[in-house]
Chain A
């Protein structure tokens, strides 16, 4: 049975998209230009994601295969092509944020966020690369204030999302 997820619906409607979403007329241009739909048509379909989000149907939560939302390569071509100026990728960000908050989604994402929380950088500085920078005549990369970064990310509750 299909049930409406009101939390999803509220978040989607709240995501800075004005009221454009309801003007989606399922023309399929987004899916036509999507590079992932082109190579995996049975697994990824932005048009379907927009319809489901608008109706408040959460297609991928709790599913084993969530490529249906995480397969997006975030090329932003659909946003550009949509005749109704729907910012599809903003909606997909809502879906992904919900997926992560529910403890789902590919490891890559939480691992990277965790590194940023710990070091302030997605790729922390390392001695071998520092030496290489020196050899190439490059200045040191200035280090960010990590305690400041962590304070910010505690207020946004990223620490809770990442179980820190």
Chain B
């Protein structure tokens, strides 16, 4: 079995590590092996790349060389890290001019980008493990639970490069969710961004986008939002109150990482995965579906 280099990223690793707890529980159960590495920030495809593209390429390439040295692929728990590492890997593998430029920079610290490994999003890996294997581990059938899937933007776009899923109608997250027995609802704003990016610049439009998304999910009957990115998670979970305040709507819609949903379906306990650290409390939802 292949072993991946774990890339949890700054947000999960150093701010909301409970998301990593459920991911590791699920990986263990499904036989996905990982090991640690001394990675720096990916760096952020929205933030750092907007400051200086060359610095972004060089830092991304440095991270890739760490995995290359062990000849292991990277598994990312975050859309942002995934997109950065995938884009940098691709750009430097195919553009000799850029590769030479970046390798000259990396040469200063004795490193060289070779382009010998692959970068994967954890949803891709779970999907490869497959519905059958997931079903074998289910202890709590989640039939009756209706959820809205939100893959977020940097998981499946730009599709020509990341090649994970359909760019405007992603299916893998839905299929993983459906394997637990839960029902992914159809909602109009499924591919709409969570709004986190514009929030770096101005809060008001970010909360408007978030509110549109939440309203659409609720109108479709969703009892929870399922995400696979820590930036989206924080936007939905932490900022939900702000969106309520700005629009006067009330949502109270719990947000679960897809690995939390799987771990709950596998019969693991909410306390063991730190679900109490969620800001939008999923307590009622868990009780209703006998998962508490």
Contacts and interface: CB of A to CB of B under 8 A. Distances in A.
A145 B41 CA distance: 11
Interface in B187-230: 191-193, 195-202, 205-206, 208-209, 212
Contacts, number: 191
| Residues of B contacting A: mostly | helix
| Residue of A75, A77, A138, A139 most packed against chain B (CB within 10 A) | A75
A108 interface: yes
Interface string B74-95: 0000000000000000010001
A121 B48 contact: no
Interface residues of A, number: 62
A79 interface: yes
Contact of B105 (A105, A140, A155): A155
Contacts of A121: 10, 14, 40-41
A18 to B, nearest CB: 11
Contacts of B14: 121, 123-126, 129, 141
Nearest to B8: A141
A113 B17 CA distance: 22
Contacts of A161: 51-52
B38 A143 contact: yes
A156 B54 contact: yes
Nearest to A134: B17
B205 to A, nearest CB: 6
A28 interface: no
A40 B41 contact: no
A109 to B, nearest CB: 5
Contact of A87 (B17, B24, B158, B206): B158
Contacts of A1: none
Interface stretch (A2-10, A19-27, A52-60, A66-74): A66-74
Nearest to B36: A142
Given A71-B198, A74-B45, A80-B158, A145 B55 contact: no
A144 B197 contact: no
Contacts of B206: 73
A83 interface: no
A113 B41 CA distance: 10
Given A40-B205, A152-B59, A129 B193 contact: no
B62 interface: yes
17 contacts: A36-B209, A67-B202, A72-B198, A74-B46, A75-B157, A77-B191, A80-B157, A97-B52, A100-B50, A109-B47, A116-B43, A136-B17, A136-B273, A146-B40, A149-B40, A156-B55, A158-B51
